[in-house]
Amino acid sequence: MRQIILDTETTGLNPKNGDRIIEVAGVEMKNRRLTGRHLHYYCNPEREVDAGALAVHGITDEFLEDKPKFAQIAKDLMEFISGAELVIHNAPFDVGFLDMEFSRLDLPPTREICASVRDTLKMARELHPGKRNSLDALCDRYQISNAHRTLHGALLDAELLAEVYLAMTRGQESLMMDLSPPAPKAHVDRDSSKTDKPRPALLVRRANAAEAALHQQVLEHIQKESGGKCVWVQASGGGVQESKAEPT
Confidence at residue 237, expressed as pLDDT on a 0 to 100 scale? 63
Give 193-231 pLDDT, tens digit per residue.
445 566 677 777 788 888 888 888 888 878 887 777 776
Q: Tell me the pLDDT band of 238, cut-offs 50, 70 and 90.
A: low
Q: Is the pLDDT of residue 172 over 60?
A: no
Between CA 95 and CA 85 the distance in angstroms is: 13
Q: Which residue has the higher pLDDT, 179 or 92?
A: 92
Q: What is the mean pLDDT of residues 21-45?
A: 97
Share of the chain above pLDDT 90, in %: 65
Tell me what the mean pLDDT of segment 172-193 comes to.
Answer: 47
Q: What is the pLDDT of residue 151?
A: 73
pLDDT tens-place string over residues 108-133: 999 999 999 999 999 999 999 999 99
Sign of CA dihedral 101, 105, 110, 115: negative
190-to-27, 55, 184, 196, 198 alpha-carbon distances in Å? 52, 71, 18, 10, 16
Residue that wins the pLDDT comparison between 191 and 12? 12
Predicted TM-score (pTM) of this structure: 0.68
Count CA atoms within 13 Å of residue 198 on its CB side.
Answer: 3
Report how far apart, in Å, the C-alpha atoms of 223 and of each of 218, 229, 235 are: 9, 6, 12
Question: Could you say which of 152, 187, 215, 221 is catalytic?
Answer: 152
Which of the two residues, 181 and 80, has the higher pLDDT score?
A: 80
- Reported confidence tier of residue 32, pLDDT bands at 50, 70, 90: very high
Question: What SS3 string covers the chain?
Answer: CEEEEEEEEECCCCHHHCCCEEEEEEEEEECCEEEEEEEEEECCCCCCCCHHHHHHHCCCHHHHCCCCCHHHHHHHHHHHHCCCEEEECCHHHHHHHHHHHHHHCCCCCHHHHCCEEEEHHHHHHHHCCCCCCCHHHHHHHCCCCCCCCCCCCHHHHHHHHHHHHHHHHHCCCCCCCCCCCCCCCCCCCCCHHHHCCCCCCCCCCCCCHHHHHHHHHHHHHHHHHCCCCCHHHHHCCCCCCCCCCCCC
Is 221 tagged catalytic? Answer: no
pLDDT at position 164 over 90: yes
Burial class (CB in 10 A: 0-12, 13-18, 19+), 66: exposed
- Residue 173 pLDDT grade (very low, low, confident, very high; cuts 50, 70, 90): very low
- Show Cβ contacts of residue 230 under 8 Å, excluding neighbours closer than 6 positions: 219, 222, 223, 240
In this prediction, residue 175 has a pLDDT band, given cuts at 50, 70 and 90, of very low
